[in-house]
Structure 1
Amino acid sequence: MATRLVQINMKARDDSALGRFWAEALGWGVDSEGPGVTNLEPVGFARPDPSAVCIDIIARPEPKTVKNRVHLDLATTSAAHQAELVARLKDLGAAPADIGQGDVPWTVMADPEGNEFCLLTPR
């Protein structure tokens, strides 16, 4: 039987604030297991869901200090959708990021805690 990816774990200085950012960015729901743990799930998610991956954001006091070794890629449906998403994510607190990507068709951004992610062009 194949192993299935079910959850991504992120660290944050403020798990609830970063959780709100990602919930708004993805259109997902927010829950909490308790202080220091914010859970993000697709709307309508019911465990076990064979097609969903959830995100847990765990509070940690230390700041991010180097480029992420793992990051999220978000899909877009058109150049216009990509531009709209960039603008919406900036309004939520994201910022453009230069990680040495050069001239590429996708957009690299950082969430409010500096975690890099990409907005991919349609494939």
Structure 2
Amino acid sequence: MAEISRIKKKIREYMEYHGLSEYEFCKRTGIAKGVINSETGISEQNFYRFLEYDPAVSILWLIYDKGDMYGKYSIQGEPSQVSEPEEIYPKNKAKHDNLIHSIDNEISSLIKLSENHLEILKETRKYFTNLKHTSKL
């Protein structure tokens, strides 16, 4: 039996946090109950239906389980009833693209910072190794 996708687990966590039944959640978001219950992944269209319903949800939390449900990386706005889910992606494409760009930049900065820290640690190890050998003489 396949394991349910991470995003669906997070959506179920969201439903539980907000006290939403499957029926109420599906009614509000426009996502079919079968989608929530299936063990397969979630389509891009349904992913955007969820984000359109509650754009304050953190993308990093939803996709990578990083940070809080309502963290720094969200589309922002008030939860709303989705009436035309097919229009979600074009409507928010610029916001999504900007968010992805911001996340990518932050990840790049963190990688560079980690590389710098690694170099400092290597130099520190080298210094103390040399000091250790010098003190034995």
The TM-score with structure 2 as length reference comes to 0.26
Larger relative contact order, structure 1 or 2 (CA cutoff 8 Å, min sep 6): 1
Higher helix share: 2
The TM-score with structure 1 as length reference comes to 0.28
